[in-house]
Amino acid sequence: MKKIVSLAICISLMICCLSGCKNDSKSGDINADGMKIFISVSQADDFRGAFAQKAKELAEKSGAQVEVVDEKNSIETQVSDIKKAVSEKYDAIICGLVDIDTAFEVEALAGDIPIVFFNTCPEDDKLDAGKYVYVGSNEEDAGKYQAEYILNEFKSSDEINVAIFKGALSHAATKPRTEALKNALRASGKTVNFVFEDTAEWDNVKAEDMFKLFLKTGQKCDAVACNNDTMATGIIQACKDEGISDIKILGIDATSDGCKAIESGDMAFTVYQSATGQGEMAVKAAIDLANGGDLSGFKGVTKDKKYVWVPFEKVDSSNVKDYE
């Protein structure tokens, strides 16, 4: 089962600052004896908490000393903590950026210390094989999977009316998830009407309020594709309040609430992004870079060795129990 740890555990993890104990039990052939790894998480939540927990566990099993910090969505705090990690001579940094625009500043602060970015991907020109890399899931795949589900559900229809709720415009996942969804729908040859498209900034209450306003227009809507499950739960509530039950609602992330909504029949589809898989891969990448490697031979590494992709997985009523 792929259940995400509770928020309480996540927050507890984020604020812990661990001493340099070593675990004699190594993880496979990964050896990080004497290595110090700093994990900077932009903000504590289920996904990032599960990522950090897995990264911490694997790093310690490999012999590393680990410090995990919750930056509480503060750029200033993250910059200060990165400076501290540099002054304390950490060997590698795993960083979930609070703001994508600070990538260059964080790299400048790190100097010769390699960085593995996660969750928020810097621009390609900010990445450098063997030094600054990104571990995550290819966001375009999530959008494509949503489109595939919609097209399959409405395969007998020549025209489909779709509403789109986007995440924060500053977040690196928003644009690729949205554009891949739209491009795949357009390429189907069907008439696809995008009857609504706006950002609810990942928030369920904003999504609910915005969709209720849309419903007042009386426009037909067959499916609502959200950039994450949290916004999808807002759409679900709006539909319940308005007595609507014939709209297909899609999310991304396969959160606990998202999976419960699929089980209850309120949500049709989501896409699982493996927090634990990314956490494991991020640690392996950090150790490899700290040892002078360039990720050669890593599963999912791109040809330019700047990215390591951990695959998304499709989730619907047929397999949702595997993700609870």
Model's pTM, two decimal places? 0.77
- Nearest by Cα to 73 from 198, 201, 174: 201
Cβ burial, residue 162 (10 Å; 0-12/13-18/19+) = buried
- Work out the end-to-end distance of the chain between its first and last CA atoms, rounded to an integer number of angstroms: 6
Q: What is the average per-residue pLDDT within 43-52?
A: 86
Q: Are the CB atoms for 258 and 266 separated by under 8 Å?
A: no
Q: Are the CB atoms for 257 and 233 separated by under 8 Å?
A: yes
Q: Does residue 24 carry a pLDDT above 90?
A: no
Q: In this predicted model, which residue has the larger pLDDT, 290 or 48?
A: 290
CA distances from 302 to 93, 129, 136, 306 (A): 21, 10, 12, 7
Q: Are the CB atoms for 247 and 236 separated by under 8 Å?
A: no
pLDDT of amino acid 18: 36
Q: Does residue 23 carry a pLDDT above 50?
A: no
pLDDT of amino acid 31: 86
Alpha carbon of residue 243 to chain centroid: 32
Cβ burial, residue 218 (10 Å; 0-12/13-18/19+) = exposed
Q: What is the average per-residue pLDDT within 14-33?
A: 49
In single-letter form, the type of residue at position 280 comes to E
Q: Are the CB atoms for 253 and 202 separated by under 8 Å?
A: no
pLDDT of amino acid 1: 52
pLDDT of amino acid 170: 81
pLDDT of amino acid 26: 37
C-alpha–C-alpha distance, residues 134 and 293, integer Å: 15
pLDDT digits (tens, 9 = 90+) for 250-293: 999 898 899 999 999 999 999 998 999 999 999 999 999 999 99
* DSSP secondary structure code for residue 322 in this structure: G
pLDDT digits (tens, 9 = 90+) for 160-174: 999 999 999 988 899
pLDDT of amino acid 29: 60
Q: Does residue 66 carry a pLDDT above 70?
A: yes
Q: Does residue 87 carry a pLDDT above 70?
A: yes
pLDDT of amino acid 247: 98
Q: What is the mean pLDDT of the chain?
A: 91
pLDDT digits (tens, 9 = 90+) for 104-152: 999 999 999 999 999 989 999 999 999 999 999 999 999 999 999 999 9
Cβ burial, residue 235 (10 Å; 0-12/13-18/19+) = buried
- Strand 92-95 and strand 115-118: pairing? parallel
